[in-house]
C-alpha cells in the first residue's frame, strides 16, 4: 500500500512537471489581453475579430506604427500627420490632406474612434472592407505616404525595437504585411470615445443646460411640417430629424447614405460599386466630437457647424445634382424644417456636448516614442 502511494506520488510529480515544461515551448510569447477603460453602459458590446484579439503588446506595436514616419517613402509622414488626436484623429483643420509628394487628395480626413462598431466598410466610399486591409492602403497610396510594402518591411525589420515588439505581440521574428495590418487594426480598435458630457448626462453624473436640452429634443424629433399654430416654446414642433441618420449612442447609422449634398465631382459609394443608385452616397459619419473635426463633409466644404445646419435647413435645393430618391428623409426635410436662430444655436450647443476630452488627451493614444 505504502509502495503504491509512493508510485502514485512520483507519477503525479512527473505529470505536474510535464505540464510545466509543456507550457513553455508551446507558448513562446505571452500576451496580455488589452484592458479597455471606458464605461460600457451606453455603447454596444465590443466587437473584436476572433482572429485578431486585442493584446497590450499588439496594440503597442500598432501604436508604434501609427506614429512612425518610417511608413512613408521619405520618412516625413506618419498616420498621425493626417489623423491628429487633439482633432479626434482628423487632419489639422485642413479641407484636404497633403501627401509626401505635396499632392492634395480630394477628400477630407476621417476621424478615428469607435471603429470596432463600423461594420460596413471604411473610407467615405467604403472601398476597404475590413480595417486591417484599410490600414495598408495609405502606405501605398501615391497621394499619401507613397511607399511600397517591400521597402517598408525592409526598413522596419532592420529595427531592433520592432523585432522585439513583433516577437512579443505575434511570436514572429519579423513583420510582414499581415502583421502591419493586424497591429494597426488593434491600435485603432483600442481608440474609444465614450466620455463626453452627453455620456455623463446619460449616466446621471451631469446635467444639460436648458439650451442643450432643447437642442437634444430638436435633434431627436421627426421633422414635421411648419404649422402656423405650433407652440414656439415646444422644440418638438421644430424637429430637425438628425437622429434618423446620426442617432443612437454611436451617433451614426451604419450605412452609406445621401444627405442631399451634391458630390462636387465625387460619386461617393458609386466610385467603388459602379452602381448608379449609389451615386452621392457617403459613409454616414459619427457626430461624436464633431466640434473638433471641422471642416465638414467628405470634401470639407463647410467650415462651421452653423454652415452645416444652414445647409440642412435651407440650401438643399442648391444641390440639383442629387437624386432625391436616394435620400428619402432629406426630401421630407427640405420641405418642412424651420428653425429659429435660437433653436439653431440650441441644436449646435447639443452637438458640442458630444466632445470627449478624454479621447483628445488620453495618454494611451499618444505617440509611444
Binding of ligand HEC by 144 (CB under 6 A): yes
What three-state secondary structure class fits 96? coil
When the beta carbons of 7 and 309 are compared against ligand HEC, the nearer one is: 309
Binding of ligand HEC by 166 (CB under 6 A): no
Residue 257 pairs in a beta bridge with 282
DSSP 244: H
Binding of ligand HEC by 59 (CB under 6 A): no
Binding of ligand HEC by 118 (CB under 6 A): yes
Q: What span, in angstroms and rounded, lies between the C-alpha atoms of 208 and 134?
A: 38
Binding of ligand HEC by 83 (CB under 6 A): yes
When the beta carbons of 79 and 175 are compared against ligand HEC, the nearer one is: 79
Binding of ligand HEC by 324 (CB under 6 A): no
Residue 282 pairs in a beta bridge with 257
> Based on C-alpha coordinates, what's the Rg of the chain?
25
Residues in contact with ligand HEC, shown as a per-residue x/- string from 91 to 110 under the rule CB under 6 A? ------x-x-----x-x-xx
Binding residues for ligand HEC, total number by CB under 6 A: 52
Binding of ligand HEC by 278 (CB under 6 A): no
Contact set for ligand HEC, span 338-367 (CB under 6 A): none
CB of 293 to ligand HEC, least distance (A): 5
Binding of ligand HEC by 244 (CB under 6 A): yes
Judged by CB under 6 A, the stretch of 22-30, 35-43, 48-56, 237-245 that binds ligand HEC is 237-245
E strands present in the chain:
256-257, 282-283
Binding of ligand HEC by 183 (CB under 6 A): no
Among 73, 116, 139, 316, binds ligand HEC (CB under 6 A): 139
Query: Is the CB of residue 293 less than 8 Å from the CB of residue 88?
Result: yes
DSSP string, 193-220: ---SHHHHHHTTSS---HHHHHHHHHHT
Q: What span, in angstroms and rounded, lies between the C-alpha atoms of 79 and 103?
A: 16
In Å, what is the CA distance from 16 to each residue of 19, 20, 28, 61, 83? Answer: 5, 7, 20, 35, 51
CB of 282 to ligand HEC, least distance (A): 4
CB of 125 to ligand HEC, least distance (A): 6
Among 54, 112, 169, 179, binds ligand HEC (CB under 6 A): 112
Among 54, 59, 71, 191, binds ligand HEC (CB under 6 A): 71
Find, among 293, 286, 300, the residue nearest to 254 by Cα.
286
Q: What span, in angstroms and rounded, lies between the C-alpha atoms of 237 and 336?
A: 11
Binding of ligand HEC by 182 (CB under 6 A): no
Query: Is the CB of residue 295 less than 8 Å from the CB of residue 108?
Result: yes
DSSP string, 293-353: S-SBTTTT-B-SHHHHHHHHHH-GGG-TT--GGG-HHHHHHHHH----HHHHHHHHHHHHT
Binding of ligand HEC by 312 (CB under 6 A): yes
What three-state secondary structure class fits 227? coil
Q: Record the cell numbers describing residue 9, joined without a space.
A: 506520488
Q: Record the cell numbers describing residue 53, joined without a space.
A: 484579439
Among 58, 138, 181, 239, binds ligand HEC (CB under 6 A): 138
Residue 104 pairs in a beta bridge with 98
Among 60, 61, 64, 145, binds ligand HEC (CB under 6 A): 145
Among 329, 331, 332, 358, binds ligand HEC (CB under 6 A): 329
When the beta carbons of 10 and 266 are compared against ligand HEC, the nearer one is: 266
Q: How many CB atoms lie within 10 A of CB 117?
A: 18
Judged by CB under 6 A, the stretch of 18-26, 37-45, 158-166, 256-264 that binds ligand HEC is 256-264
Q: Which residues bind ligand HEC (CB under 6 A)?
A: 66, 71, 77, 79, 81-83, 97, 99, 105, 107, 109-110, 112, 118, 122-125, 134-135, 138-139, 144-145, 184, 188, 240-242, 244-246, 257, 259, 261, 282-285, 287, 290, 293, 296-298, 308-309, 312, 327, 329-330
Amino acid at each position: 500500500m505504502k509502495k503504491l502511494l509512493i508510485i502514485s506520488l512520483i507519477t503525479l510529480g512527473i505529470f505536474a512537471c510535464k505540464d510545466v515544461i509543456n507550457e513553455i515551448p508551446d507558448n513562446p510569447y505571452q500576451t496580455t489581453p488589452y484592458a479597455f477603460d471606458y464605461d460600457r453602459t451606453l455603447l454596444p458590446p465590443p466587437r473584436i475579430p476572433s482572429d485578431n484579439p486585442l493584446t497590450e503588446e499588439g496594440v503597442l506595436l500598432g501604436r508604434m506604427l501609427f506614429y512612425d514616419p518610417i511608413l512613408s517613402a521619405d520618412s516625413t509622414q506618419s498616420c498621425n500627420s493626417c489623423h491628429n488626436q487633439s482633432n479626434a484623429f482628423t487632419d489639422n483643420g485642413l479641407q484636404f490632406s497633403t501627401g509626401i509628394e505635396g499632392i492634395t487628395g480630394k477628400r477630407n480626413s476621417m476621424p478615428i474612434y469607435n471603429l470596432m462598431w463600423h461594420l460596413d466598410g471604411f473610407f467615405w466610399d467604403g472601398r476597404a472592407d475590413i480595417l486591417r486591409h484599410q490600414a495598408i492602403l495609405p502606405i501605398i497610396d501615391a497621394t499619401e505616404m507613397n511607399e511600397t510594402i517591400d521597402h517598408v518591411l525592409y526598413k522596419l525589420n532592420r529595427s531592433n525595437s520592432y523585432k522585439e515588439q513583433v516577437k512579443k505581440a505575434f511570436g514572429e521574428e519579423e513583420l510582414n504585411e499581415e502583421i502591419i495590418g493586424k497591429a494597426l487594426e488593434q491600435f485603432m480598435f483600442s481608440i474609444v470615445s465614450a466620455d463626453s458630457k452627453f455620456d455623463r448626462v446619460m449616466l446621471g453624473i451631469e446635467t444639460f443646460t436648458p439650451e442643450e436640452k432643447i437642442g437634444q429634443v430638436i435633434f431627436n424629433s421627426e421633422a414635421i411640417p411648419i404649422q402656423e399654430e405650433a407652440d414656439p416654446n415646444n422644440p418638438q414642433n421644430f424637429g430637425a430629424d438628425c437622429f434618423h441618420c446620426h442617432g443612437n449612442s454611436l451617433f451614426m447609422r451604419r450605412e452609406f447614405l445621401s444627405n442631399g449634398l451634391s458630390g462636387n465631382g465625387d460619386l461617393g459609394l458609386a466610385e467603388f460599386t459602379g452602381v448608379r443608385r449609389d451615386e452621392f452616397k457617403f459613409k454616414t459619419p459619427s457626430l461624436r466630437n464633431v466640434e473638433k473635426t471641422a471642416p465638414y463633409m467628405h470634401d470639407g466644404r463647410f467650415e462651421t457647424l452653423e454652415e452645416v445646419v444652414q445647409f440642412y435647413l435651407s440650401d438643399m435645393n442648391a444641390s440639383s445634382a442629387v437624386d432625391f430618391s436616394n435620400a428619402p428623409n432629406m426630401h421630407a426635410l427640405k420641405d418642412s424644417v424651420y428653425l429659429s436662430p435660437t433653436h439653431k444655436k440650441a441644436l449646435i450647443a447639443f452637438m458640442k456636448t458630444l466632445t470627449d476630452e478624454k479621447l483628445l488627451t488620453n495618454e494611451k493614444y499618444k505617440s509611444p516614442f
